[in-house]
Structure 1
Amino acid sequence: MLDATAYDRRALRVLIACETSGVMRRAFAARGHDVWSCDLLPAEDRSNRHRVEDARDGILEEGWDLLAVMHPPCTRLCRSGRRWMSGPGKWTEPKQLPRGRTVADLRAEFELGVELFTACWRAPIERVAIENPEMNDLAKDRMPADLPRPQMVQPFWFGEPAYKNTGFYLRGLPALEPTQMLQEPERGSDEWKAWSAIHRAPPGPNRWKIRSRTFEGVAEAAADQWGIYSTGACV
């Protein structure tokens, strides 16, 4: 485990991009950091520490110590969305499309996801964490050459009885260490089904919000472990 007593602490300027829930913002704020969130949508908690704007419109250049990008558009970048983007091989005609969508629609969303992810990764910020599922091959082909493999974590590592395989692409930050590992329930049991609620969420207008929300246990761990400042702490 990280020994917080081994490092100096000071208030960091932290930007939480692509977040409307405020979960990660509040976790860092509770530890005394100067933290703001931004998204194209207003904050659910109506915080005055939230800016409604595109992260690519200049906010990334405002002298932040740490950037955490929580929910950038990933539907077209992740492996589960690969089948909608291409058939066999690369960039061939998909065998099927979502109802009411065109190939042009999906590829425009793909380009948006690539552009936003790349802009955040290349931001002039020393410490960066971008939350995103493991990418499909089409997305990997477009990523910066220095992008590492993501650290994959589960909410139940941090005291949250749930499954949601979450990837963090990290620069200048240590991998998150579990804080309260829960014992997994028996597969197929009622408890296991409850833990799998995110993946079992029915289609609907709020499904994206349910699937993207940050668990408080994960946010608390991130604020504790990534909020430590030292010139040699996060190499």
Structure 2
Amino acid sequence: MRVLIGCEFSGTMRRAFERHGHEAWSCDLLPAEDRSNRHIVGDVRAHLDEGWDLLVVVHPPCTRLCRSGRRWLSGAGDMTPPKKLPAGRTWESMKAEFAGGLALFTDCWRAPVPRVAIENPEMHDIARRRLPADVPRPQIVQPFWFGEPQYKATGWYLRGLPPLTPTQRLAEPERGSPEWKAWNRVWRMPPGAARGHERSRFFPAMADACAGQWGGYAMEQAA
């Protein structure tokens, strides 16, 4: 199978598909962290029509689309300025970020690829009203379903692919315990220039489940 991994610089998902025997390429605005020669630097949308069997978009911009970001997009009504904007931001820049994130999601969803998986949180109602009508609710999974001792609700919007099945679900630690706090590492990262960069790293065990299950399904369908 020819697999395109969009919006990934780390190579985690690309390497998982390669381990499962697929021809996998990653694409991101940043160069490949592992310096792979199977990485395209640029906008993934410029490469959607190059004959892929499967498109997996790992970390598209979602700050303005997720439910936690709704408060910045709606005062009274739909897409009206809120009472207060984030420091240093303008209403025009917030609308532009929203439109850009929505356009990237929509373009990838409508890609001429038979099987598509896009990672994004559950979107707020303002974003959902602007999505293509055939976009389903996402499947929400957790890293610990796949053997990663971490909490981070991960949404997958799927077209032509089955939902992921847990592979090695771990027992959850007691709430408030040191282990529970360690599982919340992603959310407890201190502010800093590298915070967004580090939070965008994908989980190897979940990537392996994606490659094994979706790659295997694509091969069965093509047989």
State the TM-score, normalized to the length of structure 2: 0.96
State whether structure 2 residue 113 is matched by structure 1 residue 103: no
Which residue in the other structure is 1:9 paired with?
A: none
Superimposed CA distance per residue, residues 171-216 of structure 1 (whole angstroms, 9 cap, x where no aligned partner): 1111000000001111111111111111121221111122221100
Aligned partner of 1:17 among 6, 29, 32: 6
% identical aligned pairs: 67
Which residue in the other structure is 1:60 paired with?
A: 48
How far apart in 2 are the matches of 1:38 and 1:207?
21
Structure 2: which 5+ residue stretches go unaligned?
A: none
Which residue in the other structure is 1:8 paired with?
A: none
How far apart in 1 are the matches of 2:93 and 2:195?
20
Structure 1: which 5+ residue stretches go unaligned?
A: 1-11
Which residue in the other structure is 2:175 paired with?
A: 187
State whether structure 2 residue 24 is matched by structure 1 residue 35: yes
- How much has 1:92 moved relative to structure 2? 2.2
Q: Could you say what the CA RMSD is over the residues aligned between the two structures, in angstroms? A: 1.2
State whether structure 2 residue 35 is matched by structure 1 residue 46: yes
Aligned partner of 1:203 among 185, 191, 199: 191
Which letter does structure 2 place at the counterpart of 1:80?
S
SS in structure 1 opposite 2:165?
A: coil
Aligned length: 221
SS in structure 1 opposite 2:45?
A: coil
How far apart in 2 are the matches of 1:110 and 1:231?
36
Asked if 1 retains the 8 angstrom alpha-carbon contact of 2:72 and 2:81, the reply is no
State whether structure 2 residue 212 is matched by structure 1 residue 230: no
Which residue in the other structure is 2:102 paired with?
A: 114
SS in structure 2 opposite 1:36?
A: strand
How far apart in 2 are the matches of 1:74 and 1:173?
22
Residues 166, 107 of structure 1: alpha-carbon distance in 2 compared, 3 angstrom cutoff: same
How far apart in 2 are the matches of 1:231 and 1:25?
21
Asked if 1 retains the 8 angstrom alpha-carbon contact of 2:146 and 2:168, the reply is yes
- How much has 1:87 moved relative to structure 2? 2.2
Which residue in the other structure is 2:81 paired with?
A: 93
Residues 112, 196 of structure 1: alpha-carbon distance in 2 compared, 3 angstrom cutoff: same
How far apart in 1 are the matches of 2:120 and 2:132?
15
How far apart in 2 are the matches of 1:85 and 1:21?
31
SS in structure 1 opposite 2:24?
A: strand
4+ aligned runs moved over 2 Å, structure 1: none
